[in-house]
Chain A
């Protein structure tokens, strides 16, 4: 990111995310990703698909540096995330909106506080928090649940809180790990529309999903993983039907 300030042209030249021959082997010996290379440009909308255990979540973890690659390099904004200093890592994470597969809401904080936390971490003022949190909660349809604690919500509602938290900072990259996993078809569809809209507003979106109907309906780029390998990668050229 500081690259951007140093070199204004970097914005156009360097892809937002670039994986160079990335292999991830967990300490227990599981090979979650094997020699994966791809890049994502600014403003793209990308689906990541693949069977369970294919390494999709691992891929997102490498981007926000929750895990480090065993071999190869992960570049975000042209910078190797393994080389970032702690303060730069914090800075990177603040500007990535991440919807975790397991939500990762703070159980002892209300919905409002959970969403506000992301803003507080980014250093927003109290006034800003008071304005932005209700806005974003309304956007995911949870305006009336602000004072609830996570355990008082349904799975789908918790998922939408996680999405609100990822959106509230207006991130440059939104990564959503199966954000429709707990939602009914109508809500899933609404959510996809929301993500598309956010993408149109300029945010790069990376969405991990099993929902083929959604993938097929919108005709965006698809990255497919199979046992840790990148099996096919297709540009956004219209309706792509998985497996046909």
Chain B
């Protein structure tokens, strides 16, 4: 019995779609546009957040040591630094290594450093990596207070500004996603409501013939699910294809210092969620839109 009703729903839904092809096509198109825009914005937001994270990951603190520190004192300091809250990793950089690094960075101009090998002016130092970028100023302050520390450098002022920018990027991305999600929901609900509006008369006739609410509602909900599936499927397909070819092109031109989000799991999760939301939204919109006609 239940199975037979279910088949009737599906059959009715498909017959309705075919008989109202124009209406169905425009509904699918509208939902496709809504889902595509939403997906596009989500991808943008994901990349913005990824960018912010990449920038923040580069943050570190340089702790320069006083000259002539004994190795026991140095180890003691390393231990204390590692104990500061929020420090993920402590790395020792000897004065020779520091010079090497400087030389590498200067490249062609490394001649400037000639002769400094014997008289290296650079101090020994520790590199501290924070667990969270926001902790950088705090860690720096604590490190500066430890014995044997000459001075602490972390790009004061710049870091705070940078963190403000990355935070702003995150909020803006989240806000944009929310905005577009709401717009997509409204667009879908309205589209489906309009497609059902013209059939309010049919619904009341069925009720007068003794149909139960679910008898009437079933085909409409199936139809909504189907329209949602087609629309969201179309949109997700385009989006996946578009983003994939973008990644492909960027791979060839290593123009960006930052690589866009390309983790398969993240992307597939996104595409599936978009598809699922579209289907669900289609069904729910139908459910809601039919309700007002059922009171006969």
Chain A positions within 8 Å of B, measured between CB atoms, are 64, 66, 86-87, 90-96, 98, 100, 104-108, 117-118, 120-123, 125, 165
Chain B nearest CB, measured from A136 CB (Å): 15
Question: Is B212 on the interface with A (CB-CB < 8 A)?
Answer: yes
Residues in B neighbouring A93, C-beta threshold 8 A: 207-210
Known: A106-B202, A121-B206. A90 touches B212 (CB 8 A): yes
Chain A nearest CB, measured from B291 CB (Å): 13
Residues in B neighbouring A117, C-beta threshold 8 A: 206, 209
Question: Is B167 on the interface with A (CB-CB < 8 A)?
Answer: no
The 8 Å CB contact of B211, one of A66, A90, A107, A108, is A90
6 A-B pairs closest in CB distance:
A94-B210, A93-B210, A121-B211, A104-B205, A90-B210, A90-B212
Q: Is the CB of A86 within 8 A of B213?
A: yes
CA distance A60 to B20 in the complex (A): 33
Q: Is the CB of B19 within 8 A of A108?
A: yes
Chain B nearest CB, measured from A106 CB (Å): 5
Question: Is B158 on the interface with A (CB-CB < 8 A)?
Answer: no
Question: Is B215 on the interface with A (CB-CB < 8 A)?
Answer: yes
The 8 Å CB contact of B209, one of A87, A94, A107, A123, is A94
CA distance A165 to B211 in the complex (A): 14
Q: Is the CB of B296 within 8 A of A66?
A: yes
Chain A nearest CB, measured from B142 CB (Å): 70
Q: Is the CB of A121 within 8 A of B210?
A: yes
Q: Is the CB of B215 within 8 A of A121?
A: yes
CA distance A117 to B15 in the complex (A): 14
Q: Which residue of A lies closest to B5 (CB)?
A: A123
Known: A108-B20, A108-B202. A121 touches B209 (CB 8 A): yes
Q: Is the CB of A120 within 8 A of B208?
A: no
The 8 Å CB contact of B208, one of A64, A87, A91, is A64
Chain B nearest CB, measured from A84 CB (Å): 12
Question: Is B1 on the interface with A (CB-CB < 8 A)?
Answer: yes
SS of B interface (majority): helix
For the complex with contacts A98-B209, A118-B210, 16 further pairs of A-B residues with Cβ separation under 8 Å are A64-B208, A66-B208, A86-B212, A90-B212, A91-B210, A94-B210, A104-B205, A105-B205, A106-B202, A106-B205, A107-B202, A108-B16, A120-B215, A121-B206, A121-B211, A122-B210
CA distance A123 to B1 in the complex (A): 8
Q: List 14 A-B contacts (CB under 8 A).
A: A64-B208, A90-B210, A90-B211, A93-B207, A93-B208, A93-B210, A94-B210, A98-B209, A105-B205, A106-B205, A120-B8, A121-B206, A121-B209, A125-B4
CB within 8 Å of A: which of B233-250? none
Chain A nearest CB, measured from B153 CB (Å): 76
CA distance A207 to B15 in the complex (A): 35
Question: Chain B, interface size: which category?
Answer: 10 to 19
Residues in A neighbouring B212, C-beta threshold 8 A: 86-87, 90
Q: Which residue of B lies closest to A91 (CB)?
A: B210
CA distance A87 to B20 in the complex (A): 31
Chain B nearest CB, measured from A159 CB (Å): 15
Chain B nearest CB, measured from A97 CB (Å): 10
CA distance A106 to B12 in the complex (A): 13
Q: Indicate with 1 or 0, residue by residue over B1-44, a CB within 8 angstroms of chain A CB atoms.
A: 10010001000000010011000000000000000000000000
Q: Is the CB of B208 within 8 A of A104?
A: yes
Residues in A neighbouring B209, C-beta threshold 8 A: 93-94, 98, 117-118, 121, 165
Residues in A neighbouring B20, C-beta threshold 8 A: 108
CA distance A169 to B20 in the complex (A): 29
Residues in A neighbouring B207, C-beta threshold 8 A: 90, 93
Chain B nearest CB, measured from A22 CB (Å): 20
Q: Indicate with 1 or 0, residue by residue over B149-189, a CB within 8 angstroms of chain A CB atoms.
A: 00000000000000000000000000000000000000000
Chain B nearest CB, measured from A152 CB (Å): 14
Q: Indicate with 1 or 0, residue by residue over B200-240, a CB within 8 angstroms of chain A CB atoms.
A: 00100111111111010000000000000000000000000
Chain B nearest CB, measured from A208 CB (Å): 16
CA distance A36 to B215 in the complex (A): 35
CA distance A86 to B208 in the complex (A): 12
CA distance A86 to B202 in the complex (A): 19
Chain A nearest CB, measured from B27 CB (Å): 16
Chain A nearest CB, measured from B3 CB (Å): 12
Residues in B neighbouring A90, C-beta threshold 8 A: 207, 210-212
Q: Is the CB of A98 within 8 A of B208?
A: yes
Chain A nearest CB, measured from B100 CB (Å): 81
The 8 Å CB contact of A92, one of B199, B202, B206, B210, is B210
CA distance A79 to B199 in the complex (A): 32
Residues in A neighbouring B8, C-beta threshold 8 A: 120
Q: Which residue of B lies closest to A66 (CB)?
A: B208
CA distance A35 to B75 in the complex (A): 104
Residues in A neighbouring B296, C-beta threshold 8 A: 66
CA distance A96 to B215 in the complex (A): 18
CA distance A213 to B119 in the complex (A): 129
